[in-house]
Amino acid sequence: MNIIEKIIASHSGKESVKPGEIADIAIDARVARDFGGPNVVKTLEEKNLSIDDVNKTFFTFDTNPTGSDQKYAVNQQIVRVFARKHGIKVFDINNGIGTHTLFANGLAWPGSTAVTTDSHANILGAIGAFGQGMGDKDITAAFHKGKIWFKVPESVKLEFIGERPSGIYAKDIVLNLLNRFGANSLLGKSVEFYGKAIEELTLDERVTIASMGTEMGAIILLFPPNREVMDYCEQRTGRKLEKIEADADATYSEVHEIDISKFVNMVSRPGKPHDTVDINSEKHTRIDSAFIGSCTNGRMEDMRAAAHILKDRKVAPGVVLKIVPTTDEIWQQCLDEGIIKIFKTAGAMFSNAGCAGCAAGQVGQNGPGEITISTGNRNFPGKQGKGSVYLASPASVAASAVAGYITSEDDIPDEPEVFDFMLDNDNKPEISIGISEHPDKNTIIKGRVWMVLEDNIDTDMIYHNRYLQITDPKEMGQYIFDNLEGFKDFAKKVKPGDIVVTGKNFGAGSSRQQAVDGFKTLGVQAIVAESFGAIYERNAINAAFPILTYNDLSSLDLKDGDIVKIDLVSGEIKNLNNAKESTIEAFSEVQMEIYNNDGLF
């Protein structure tokens, strides 16, 4: 078996597992954050569900660690009260990012399992652990049962050859990989990393790369732990650990050879993390702000790389540099090493640990027309504010903040460039609609088609994070697609019973359940896509919301407004406007069971 198969087998009481099998996996750490936590609490209390093991159950407050938003503050207090009642540990707003807390506090280790409402829980692949971001229903089930169902994914092996060039950071490595594999060619796969260059990666570097597995569409990016990682995890857990590694005869669906010697410093252009290019092609693009942090690049090595560049330099006039470490432990280490003084002397803003701009709950947001260079993992429209966001390594971000424009650490000017800044205000009217109930479920459905033929429609396009505080499903529908160009009036025009047909990797990105529930509120009957983001697929199945996948629908000659009939059992689909027929993937056994049960609960 390979690594993911070994972990799943060992946690499901099976001697072996194979891709495609469904297993009930015991979860070593069950975690909810401050935006998913209140919904988990709500379901537990409404359904009178017990907690399986409070010693394996945790809450982490990382999306709004400043407590500066009233709605977040209310949600955090709801969780605190519940946690006190049941004796559950809360890592509160002074702690930092929850996924980092898991391995820093010995709650995750090589070969262990963890689930959380953070879509970047697969960051635990950095230590050779199974980490998964999941929706509120999955996490509630894990709290209650201690297990969740999971389909064993196919595994891909990446063999790295060549010498890593000088000045190539971990962020450059993952951006180079995104350039090669895009957002969906590894969709739903577990990816293992091998080679001399990989063995030499530090823990912090592994964290950076593993953190962006979600942006690559992968279930997880797994690194066989080296001696440094094993020593770290043994020290944090306080016990001797067994190293997890694939068998010599392990099976992989794909094997790719990667020549790391050809890697260059990269940036992701605004809008798509996988739209990566050589940084030289974007040099001298003026910036308004810069951000160093997020679960991807807020580690100690990232802080040191930024401090090395900022020492004895100043942030360019008109540029705001915001720096946020991942954990309070790293914040304290920055204090001890004098790094905070370097940052402040350079003119940077240094905040307490947390998710920062990624979660719209802390420093790091930008405004309309603002251009930001960021170390975050996502730059979807609206993700870090209403401006444009480039992604790069901490060294490139720090160098750009000093220069006043995008540049690399080996090309910092003696004097910064000063620009005239323009603000482009975009005042979008609020959407107000009537709310319809979801129609009665049926195994044969018929409805009008919406053709939304785009790939990689992420959850920020479906349901933007500025609405995450909403917990009443009746309020969610009005915001569906209001951040997707060309479909911002969808919620006004859609009718109960309609069916959405879309492209690859629908629902990529965040774990937010609202991106499913909003469609149900509007009365949409189903979504038919070429493929779905892994977390979105689970959320929809668990909510008994019909989603179906296809390989090729060209024979149907579908167009907007056509009426189609779909048999969920057989997978037959017919265009009633021209009587043409085809087949799509029918409901799986687990999907039909949950559908007939009207949801996971």
For 18-56, give the secondary structure using H, E and C: CCCCEEEEECCEEEEECCCHHHHHHHHHHCCCCCCCHHH
* Dist CA 329 CA 198 (whole Å): 26
* Dist CA 304 CA 337 (whole Å): 9
* Dist CA 507 CA 529 (whole Å): 10
pLDDT, one tens digit per residue, over 171-227 is 999 999 999 999 999 999 999 999 999 999 999 999 999 999 999 999 999 999 999
Residue type, 379: N
**Strands annotated E in 109-178:** 113-116, 130-133, 147-151, 155-161
Sorting pLDDT into bands at 50, 70 and 90, what band is 441? Answer: low
Mean pLDDT of 82-103: 95
* Dist CA 326 CA 104 (whole Å): 11
Mean pLDDT of 425-432: 50
Length of the chain, in residues:
601
Q: Kindly tell me if the per-residue pLDDT of 424 is higher than 70.
A: no
Q: How far is CA 78 from CA 90, 379, 386, in A?
A: 12, 31, 30
pLDDT recorded at residue 469: 76
pLDDT, one tens digit per residue, over 231-282 is 999 999 999 999 999 999 999 999 999 999 999 999 999 999 999 999 999 9
* Dist CA 270 CA 282 (whole Å): 11
Q: Can you list the domains of the chain with their CATH numbers?
A: 3-262 (3.30.499.10), 275-403 (3.30.499.10), 444-596 (3.20.19.10)
Residue type, 550: Y
Q: Kindly tell me if the per-residue pLDDT of 309 is higher than 80.
A: yes
Q: Model-level pTM?
A: 0.84
| Other Cβ atoms within 10 Å of 504 Cβ, number | 21
Helices (H), 94-223: 98-104, 136-145, 170-181, 196-199, 203-211
Closest by Cα among 537, 449, 455, 450 to 490: 450
* Dist CA 121 CA 98 (whole Å): 9
Please check whether residue 113 is in contact with residue 244, taking contact to mean a CB–CB distance below 8 angstroms.
Answer: no
Phi first, then psi: give them for residue 583, nearest 5 degrees: -130, 145
